[in-house]
Amino acid sequence: MSKKFDVVVVGGGPGGYVAAIRSAQLGLKTACIEKWLNKEGKTVFGGTCLNVGCIPSKALLDTSHKYEEAKEKFDVHGISTGDVTIDIAAMLKRKDQIVKNLTGGVATLLKANGVTTFEGTGKVLAGKQIEFTNHAGATETLEADNIIIATGSVPFNIPPAPLTDDVIVDSTGALEFTEVPKRLGVIGAGVIGLELGSVWMRLGSEVVVLEAQDKFLHTVDQAAAKEAQKLFTKQGMDIRLGARVTGTEVKKGQVTVTYQDADGEKKEVFDKLIVAVGRRPYTEGLLSGDCGVELDERGFIHVDDTCRTDAPGIWAIGDVVRGPMLAHKASEEGVMVAERIAGHKAQVNYDAVPSVIYTHPEIAAVGKTEEQVKAEGVDYNVGMFPFAAIGRAMASGDTDGFVKIIADAESDRILGATVIGPAAGELCQQMVIAMEFGSSAEDIGMMVFSHPTVSEAVHEAALAVNNAAIHKVNRKPKKK
């Protein structure tokens, strides 16, 4: 006899485990299927984000940043450290412990909320049934009134650079280098490539980034993208745009990369090569042909604005559906779907989903870029303010970058914001809240901000939208 649930969630990442917990909180009999095995062969929840993505990469970014500061930036404070060294094994151990603490915490929360967990894989069948297969290969059928698919994504592999055991790696392998590569190549100048490249560059690698696009960070506001390229280059990152990789050859523990740019064919030799060209939805073996769930032309599960698939009672969230591949977007979709299954009204505001690149300086954005607003033909105003004019940033020695706010010229309503600089992710969240409540730039300008804080740059940028910034010269008003 099959086991029956109100909700079965397939996938235990930041979308899936949140959906399962919220469903259980709402009184629904809930199960969650997860197949991820850690290094010890134990099933762990948290998905890519907690295990090999957001969390471990931020742990390495934090360690490498502290190392770089201690080695190169303490002397200006009058602090002498002597010879600074890095213990890579200790760094990796710290990273692994953070992952263990968080994934263990998720398992505890699932249990505390009464979620039944299944360790293995799930396949969605017709009639809202799920074929569950445990790690030993035994199968059983689960039934559900509602199924939530939250299987996430996996890295893209590219034919010119097939992965090897330790020389050509994806983002997961780049978290496990046991020594600092003397020369490191990175294919892809996106979020993952820049973050992982930054980690190993700070620790001593000569880093070359090969990006096929002619524009750097082409989806980011271009004022911030240009500033970022300038700053990363100054830090020592060799960024080559319009460089399309055509082949690789691994020999004697090194890899020779062949690529094409505007000047023709070129070759570079690296000790390690990270392939970071994006991610794709993970649906292998997930759907039976008659389950009614349809994929779009890019392989994503087709859903509406509330994450309903084409099959009644089946929902899909996170990286496996349209929209940015962000853990927090997946989590909010998980809450929305659980609420809707329970009969409540809930919605995700996709116009106010922030994104962050955790380089140094950080780059964070929400809403529309100036390029997008201009392309739409909207009349708009822009306010910018540099961290170089912020007292707290000066005191911290962290003055690179700026805050940029875009507002509708007629209504003054905030359309988007980009921050590049100290605590950009945290400052951008202020703009997320403002946009969620429909704030105008004037609203932000009229608020009282603590002094001295780096958030004063948000205040001044909002004032600058309407030519009222205090601590910089305002732009000339538009001629009427």
Sheet holding 238-241, edge to edge: 168-169, 272-275, 183-187, 206-211, 238-241
Question: How far is 469 from 480, CA to CA, in rounded Å?
Answer: 21
Question: How far is 420 from 456, CA to CA, in rounded Å?
Answer: 14
Show the CA angle centred on residue 370, arms to residues 367 and 375, nearest 5°.
100
Tokens 């692994």 -> residue: 96
Q: Torsion over CA of 196, 202, 203 and 205, rounded to 10 degrees? A: 70
Question: How far is 346 from 181, CA to CA, in rounded Å?
Answer: 48
Amino acid at site 420: I
Q: Quote the distance between the C-alpha of residue 406 and its chain's center.
A: 23
**CB burial of residue 228 (10 Å; 0-12, 13-18, 19+):** buried
Q: What letters, b where the CB count within 10 A reaches 16 and e where it falls short, cover 422-440?
A: bbbeebbbbbbebbeeebb
Question: How far is 276 from 453, CA to CA, in rounded Å?
Answer: 35
How far from 43 is each of 3, 14, 20, 116, 379, CA to CA, in Å?
21, 15, 17, 14, 53
Residues paired with residue 8 on neighbouring β-strands, in sequence order: 31, 147
Question: How far is 186 from 239, CA to CA, in rounded Å?
Answer: 9
Q: Is 451 a catalytic residue?
A: yes
Question: How far is 100 from 78, CA to CA, in rounded Å?
Answer: 37
- Among residues 306, 375, 320, the alpha carbon closest in space to that of 15 is found at 320
What H or E segment, with its residue span, contains residue 201? helix 191-202
Residue 414 in contact with residue 435, Cβ under 8 Å? yes
Task: Enter the tokens of residue 234.
Answer: 């100054």
Task: Enter the tokens of residue 326.
Answer: 């962000």
Given 218, 360, 451, 459, the catalytic residue: 451
Active site positions, annotated = 451
